[in-house]
Structure 1
Amino acid sequence: MAFSLEQVLALEPYSLGKAEKRALYTRALSELTRTHAENCWEYRRILEVLGHDCAGDSFPEGQPMLPVRLFKRYNLCSVPREEVAKVMTSSGTSGQQVSKVFLDKQNVRNQTRVLTEIIGSFIGKKRLPLLILDSAQVKKDRAMFSARGAGIVGFTMFGRDILYALDEEMRLDIPAVEAFLKKYEGERILLFGYTYMIWQYVLQELHSLNAGFSIKDGILFHIGGWKKLKDQAVSPQEFNERVRRAMGNVRVHNYYGMAEQLGSVFVECEHGHMHCSNYSDVLIRRPKNFSLAGEGEKGLIELMSLLPTSYPGHVLLTEDEGEILGEDDCPCGRLGKYFKIHGRMAGAELRGCSDTYERR
């Protein structure tokens, strides 16, 4: 039976148990591997060097994985160039190469649908008043845009009457935020931003001014930028507590993802666990020999996604370190693996959207 993403999209996003998901990913990832081998010369050559046989289906752990750095060095594309609707680039520090991800219209639509299903399962189906904890300048400045700007623009589909909390000089506009909160007093407020930007330009600023906001019902989604916070000895628990002290009754959800698998995000639940949805999964690899690590054992994070059809990004080996905590038994009730991220491996490139921001 051929894999159909439409059938998976018809399900609740955290509804597949271990056996069902393993069967699905064995079939779906094998089909994607064959498709990309047929349509991407560079990928086919990699498989030949690895000695991977695409003829039959392979279990998820047997699928060939691409290091994310390859997307910085090669133009890996599985559709004719005239069908490429968008080229997504990752964030990087000055002088770094950036990853290039080639998306056709169907891939863009699938990413949007999946992101909508995942975030919608946390906030509901209604668009909420949205406070972006960043500057609108990020949409205009091409040097700042890339994955950071795309992440902000992508998140705006969940909001209405959007306000950017920072001005063009990255200064917090407290009067504008207070007016926004007063306007929507009694309603649920959605907030979004990049982790380090929120810490540096919102939380630290409010702390220095001995000021704060009084949100009665808020949900904050934030992503990226943990390296700088760890350098400052800021834990996720402290970050969440500072958000609540500075802003009020705000439920905080960190989430994890990357430009090379945009749309396949892993959201932190109410118990602080990162969750795999039906559309994505993780394995942990031992750095010395890339063998599978056991539950509770730290290693390199391997990401698998059902979405990349226009480029061979369905199985990626990251430079991030993490561990699987369990599967199908998180107290939040969501099925699938849940895991913890420990940060970048020593010697890995700096690549986060807000890790790499430098005030100019």
Structure 2
Amino acid sequence: MIAPYHLEREQKSAQLLDKLNDLTNWHIENCSDYKAMLEKSGALQQASSVEEVPYLPVQLFKLLDLKSISQEEVVKVLTSSGTTGQQVSKIYLDKETSVSQTKTLVEVMKPLLGSKRLPMIILDTKSVLKDRKSFSARGAGILGFSNFGRKHFYALNDDMSLDVKGLQAYLKEFAGQKILLFGFTFMIWQYVYKETIARGLEIDFCDSILIHGGGWKKLKDEAVDALTFNRLLKQQLGIREVHNYYGMVEQVGSIFVECSMGHLHTPSYADVIIRNPITFKPVPYGEQGLIQVLSELPKSYPGHSLLTEDLGTIHGEDDCPCGWKGKYFSVAGRIPKAELRGCSDTFQGGTK
């Protein structure tokens, strides 16, 4: 059994439910906006199953400053990635939540990366990390995953061009060693993969493992799915092992990573539920719907149960051929904007 993918349904549900109920009570006591929303939607009673734990639409973090700690306790503010002019989510972390998220991320990645720090290439630019107190989703991701590496090298210059000389020197220095690569799906595609083709560069990442996340929207516009992405990266860059992950700044630390079979898995401290976009009732496995994410980590803000804007499907539970326990699922992408507005209005109407 491989922690944190070792608990079967019955044991996991009981443990997680207790922790989620405790968090709901904590946030009711410490976040007046959260309490008011639950009061108006009649959701103040203890949940008797994980499916009954009250959830907030993820969009609320773009509209309200939701936190269950005092301003003095805030050590870090994370912001979601939004296009210019868009409102962004603000997530307030205290020391306890920040530390627990870092520790849990280590546990989640250990089955793939082991406990030894690997030489690490970050397929991004260092300028993302300029402000150490306020992080974008990209910055938070880079900072979180940096814990798994040593001798960090940033492959992109500040102008987003590829640092070819630096990259080749780094690969030469660590030739014969396993290298950890980390980046965001679109950035890797646009600024590493496409750049090497455009410039006729030959770069071989040899014995490396790539961890990437951040959504497929722009790649889907180019008709690139996960299998195509993996195949082309292997062909052009020699990257043999690729693992995508699903996560969001609103529940940072709770990430769902791909197993060897290409399925996203829920670890023991987090879960997903798929809900019908019209009725919001849980749907059977195999049916597509809105993804709800649950986690025992968020204590500094009421983000332990969130309804996302993403569509996904649970394919099974405890029986993935990879050997990991828990639900395994896939993400189809963001819900179309027209439907999203309806969903958002429904929720805000029910919680005001």
TM-score range with shorter-chain normalisation? Answer: over 0.9
1:235-314 superposed matches below 5 A: 235-314=225-304
Matched-pair identity in %: 52
Counterpart CA distance in 2 for 1:238 and 1:201 is 17
User: Are residues 1:35 and 2:26 paired?
Assistant: yes
Contact 1:306 1:314 in 2 (8 A): yes
Say which of 28, 37, 41 aligns to 1:46: 37
Counterpart CA distance in 1 for 2:73 and 2:154 is 34
Give 2:185's aligned residue.
195
Q: Compute the TM-score of the two structures, normalised by the length of structure 2.
A: 0.92
Say which of 94, 116, 126 aligns to 2:116: 126
Deviation at 1:57, TM superposition (A): 4.1
Give 1:172's aligned residue.
162
Say which of 61, 72, 75 aligns to 2:65: 75
What SS does structure 2 have at the residue aligned with 1:295? coil
Counterpart CA distance in 1 for 2:92 and 2:131 is 21
Contact 1:25 1:59 in 2 (8 A): no
Say which of 212, 230, 255 aligns to 2:202: 212
Q: Deviations over 1:259-316 (max 9, x none)?
A: 1100000001111101111121000000011011110100000000010111110000
Cα RMSD (Å) of the superposition? 1.6
Q: Deviations over 1:201-241 (max 9, x none)?
A: 11011122333322331100011141000011111101001
Contact 2:310 2:331 in 1 (8 A): yes
Counterpart CA distance in 2 for 1:99 and 1:273 is 28
Q: Compute the TM-score of the two structures, normalised by the length of structure 1.
A: 0.90
Gaps of 5+ in 2: 342-352
Question: For residue 324 of structure 2, what is the amino acid of its counterpart?
Answer: R
Counterpart CA distance in 1 for 2:235 and 2:222 is 19
User: Are residues 1:20 and 2:11 paired?
Assistant: yes
CA gap 1:24/1:141 in 2 versus in 1, 3 angstroms = closer
Counterpart CA distance in 2 for 1:193 and 1:249 is 13
Counterpart CA distance in 1 for 2:131 and 2:330 is 34
Q: Deviations over 1:246-270 (max 9, x none)?
A: 2214310100101110000000111
Deviation at 1:141, TM superposition (A): 7.2
Question: For residue 307 of structure 1, what is the amino acid of its counterpart?
Answer: L
User: Are residues 1:345 and 2:335 paired?
Assistant: yes
User: Are residues 1:321 and 2:311 paired?
Assistant: yes
Question: For residue 40 of structure 1, what is the amino acid of its counterpart?
Answer: C
What SS does structure 1 have at the residue aligned with 2:75? strand
Tell me whether 270-279 or 211-220 shows the greater mean CA deviation.
211-220
